[in-house]
Amino acid sequence: MRPALCRSLALWGVVLAGTGDNGEFRFELEGRDAQDGFGTAREFSLTALAPPHDNELSGPATDLAFLVQRSEVGLGAITTWRPRLIIGADGGVANVAWSAKTETGSGSVTFDDGHGGVVWQQPGSGSAGFDVRLLEGFSGGASVLAEDERPGPDTRIRTRYRSQRVPYVTSVPPPPSRGTDCVVERTSGERETRSPCPLTDGGLESVDLGFSSAVVDLGSPRGLSLLAVRGCAEGATCTVEHSVDHRTWQPLATANEPFAAATVDAGTPIRYLRISSSAPTLQLAEVSGWEGGPEATASLAVVPPERLDAPRTAAATSANGPPWLWLGLGALTLLTVAALLGFRIGRGKRAPGTA
């Protein structure tokens, strides 16, 4: 049986509701819910998640962000996006192709580790390519993202479409920099050795080191050809310098985005990498370095979900049939399991047991 129209469930401050038989839905909020303590319109996020197909780790998701400044706000029809994804590797390059959404020119492809960590993200609209070594031996889910913005009733509606996540595996090994030690440093000269080093341990979450810089010791001089910096803090610039003796330093690369890669002159011997940030303390996820050329024989392929040790995400399922459609509404950031076709929101008195 399908959930009744406007039936709701509050979960972690997020209101969930099912659609009616015609795919419509409606939320009713009190006026104070649409404003902050200063009376300013609060941004809401509406997230939809469709159930996965048998060959997917999770279904597609659509997220809308908007302000509520009218007693009635209609967003029109909301759809999820399930493009055909073509994923493979050729000559050391990871290639991804998909049918781009016509209403937007921006997008990206994301490879995750299957457990919430992002391995690599590459901009593209309809296609993207990057050195396959940047996947660092991880396997998980691959998806593409498209963004759009359109005018709404007294607001701008920002829409993010995330496609289905398909499982992938790759034969690329971890980088030779994996597991090396590092020393964190303050501007005052204070030092502290970190072993294992949080910048080379394969962890994908950004951490605040609490120091202004860190020096990674590769163990011996190496002819690096590729450098990757993950997790530089938003709004900050991360600078990488290199040295062979820990005394004389030369600039190597800068990163001002979460996923940055740079080719390096392999003829320059490098043992030490010093990473600093324009922010008061260094916040970073991982620094990786490779020697030699691309992994020309490396493979990258989509596989059945059962090949991976990764959870699958599904929408609520009825005992009498296929998955329902669910939707969720919350203030500011919202992550929820939902799927939907249309939306209306009204600022009125909220009755018990309704949305």
Residues of the chain with CATH 2.60.120.260: 182-291
Burial tier of 168 (Cβ tally within 10 Å: 0-12, 13-18, 19+): buried
DSSP helix/strand/coil, 179: coil
Q: How confident is the model at residue 248 (pLDDT cuts 50, 70, 90)?
A: very high
User: E strands of 116-256, at which residues?
Assistant: 118-123, 127-131, 140-152, 155-162, 166-170, 182-185, 191-194, 207-208, 213-222, 224-230, 238-243, 250-255
Q: What letter represents residue 274's amino acid?
A: R
**Higher pLDDT pick, 31 / 100:** 100
212: pLDDT strictly greater than 50? yes
37: pLDDT strictly greater than 90? no
**Higher pLDDT pick, 99 / 200:** 200
Region 81-100 average pLDDT: 95
Q: What is the dihedral of CA 17, 20, 22, 26, to 10 degrees?
A: -50
Region 85-111 average pLDDT: 88
DSSP-derived secondary structure for 189-207 = S-EEEESS-TTTS---S-E
Give the chain's mean pLDDT: 81
CA 114, chain centre distance (Å): 12
331: pLDDT strictly greater than 50? no
**Higher pLDDT pick, 96 / 12:** 96
Q: Which residues pair with 9 in a beta bridge?
A: 16
Pick the CATH number of 85-150+159-174+299-307 from 2.20.25, 1.10.287, 2.60.40, 3.40.50: 2.60.40
Q: How confident is the model at residue 143 (pLDDT cuts 50, 70, 90)?
A: very high
**Higher pLDDT pick, 155 / 318:** 155
Region 136-152 average pLDDT: 92
* pLDDT score recorded for residue 106: 74
* pLDDT score recorded for residue 146: 92
Give residues with Cβ within 8 angstroms of 340, minimum separation 6. Answer: 19, 23, 25, 46, 48, 78, 325, 326, 327
Give residues with Cβ within 8 angstroms of 256, minimum separation 6. Answer: 232, 236, 237, 238
CATH classification code of 182-291: 2.60.120.260
Q: How confident is the model at residue 46 (pLDDT cuts 50, 70, 90)?
A: confident
Phi, psi of 305 (to 5 degrees): -55, -30
Percent of the residues in the chain that have a pLDDT greater than 90, as a whole number: 55
CA 52, chain centre distance (Å): 18
Among 37-51, 80-94, 185-199, top mean pLDDT goes to 80-94
Residues of the chain with CATH 2.60.40: 85-150+159-174+299-307
Distances (CA, A) of 109 to 73, 81, 145, 204, 245: 32, 14, 6, 17, 39
